[in-house]
Structure 1
Amino acid sequence: MSRGLRNNNPGNIRRSKVRYRGEVHPSQDPEFRQFSAPEWGYRAIFVLLDTYRVRYGLRTVTQMISRWAPPTENRTQAYIDAVCRMTGLSPDEPLDTRDRATMVPLAAAISRVENGTAAVMRDVERGWALFSD
């Protein structure tokens, strides 16, 4: 099982000063967040992508993934290409981070790239419900 799935952190969100609902404290992982259940990890993906749009003006898959998985650590263009292929989104199409039909497949695609296995859609949907409440 991948590190992200073991941590219930399907987006492999790194530790920082920001706190997320459902996060486990203290985390047993020195670099990445841990969540109490997968849906809380998916909720964190939705929160972070929404923050990218609202706070930083990142509106496209290219902009968001370039921040999520920077070229200094990742094959960012391959990541963008994979996400767009899986979701049918255009890399430079503005996204509505409050739109379930856009964001659920996007989070599932991020999880697939990060963990090498298909997301459990029930967990992604539960994460969306926690985010949108």
Structure 2
Amino acid sequence: MTIARGVRNHNPGNIDYNPRNNWEGQLGKEPNGRFAIFDTAENGIRALGRLLLNYRGKDGMPGVGGPGIDTPREFITRWAPGNENDTEAYIAAIAKRLGVKANDVINIKNPVTLRAVMLGIIVHENGGNPYPDAVLDEGLRRALK
């Protein structure tokens, strides 16, 4: 059985390695690859949550949601650009998980919402969620502190 790259790297969001991002627990990048490697799944999940929280302060799409990135469409378009992903399918999966429409405003600072978006990204990036609730919840807790 092949283990998904994001799971192998303890980076279930498949976050690109950037030396300027000194993430807690980041060990470097995968050999001959572009994705960051973390020491634990909890720290990789933390980085996923922190990035989503940081997106909130960035410029959103004109005519979509409110000011800043605040809709499933805006979060996922930023997370998974269309030149590499079926972004529309990704947006639809996240919106469905949240029970909202793609352009509905969501509050990413709400722990329940953040957890749902993080879980949706983990499932989409890795073909499923290999983590028990305790691991996901610890990553969420670290992202929110």
Fold conserved between structures, TM > 0.5: yes
1:50 — aligned with what?
A: 53
1:19 — aligned with what?
A: 22
Shift of residue 85 of structure 1? 2.0
Partners of 2:89 and 2:11 lie apart in 1 by: 21
TM-score for the superposition, normalised by structure 1? 0.91
Report the CA distance shift for 1:119/1:90 in structure 2 as closer, same or farther (over 3 A). farther
Judge which range, 105-114 or 78-87, deviates more: 78-87
Select the residue among 86, 96, 101 that pairs with 2:107. 96
2:44 — aligned with what?
A: 41
Q: Which has the higher helix share?
A: 1
* 2:36 alignment partner AA: R
Moved over 6 A (4+): none
Partners of 1:91 and 1:119 lie apart in 2 by: 26
Shift of residue 91 of structure 1? 1.4
Partners of 2:125 and 2:100 lie apart in 1 by: 18
Pair member with larger Rg: 2
Amino-acid identity (%): 31
Q: Is the 8 A contact 1:97 1:103 kept in 2?
A: yes
Q: Which has the higher strand share?
A: 2
2:5 — aligned with what?
A: 3
* 2:46 alignment partner AA: R
Report the CA distance shift for 1:22/1:89 in structure 2 as closer, same or farther (over 3 A). farther
Q: Deviations over 1:65-116 (max 9, x none)?
A: 0011111111000111111222323311222222111011110010000000
Report the CA distance shift for 1:63/1:119 in structure 2 as closer, same or farther (over 3 A). farther
Structure 2 regions of 5+ residues with no counterpart? 60-67
Shift of residue 54 of structure 1? 1.6
Partners of 1:67 and 1:46 lie apart in 2 by: 14
TM-score for the superposition, normalised by structure 2? 0.84
* 1:59 alignment partner AA: D
Partners of 2:109 and 2:95 lie apart in 1 by: 18
Select the residue among 114, 127, 133 that pairs with 2:139. 127
Report the CA distance shift for 1:119/1:54 in structure 2 as closer, same or farther (over 3 A). farther
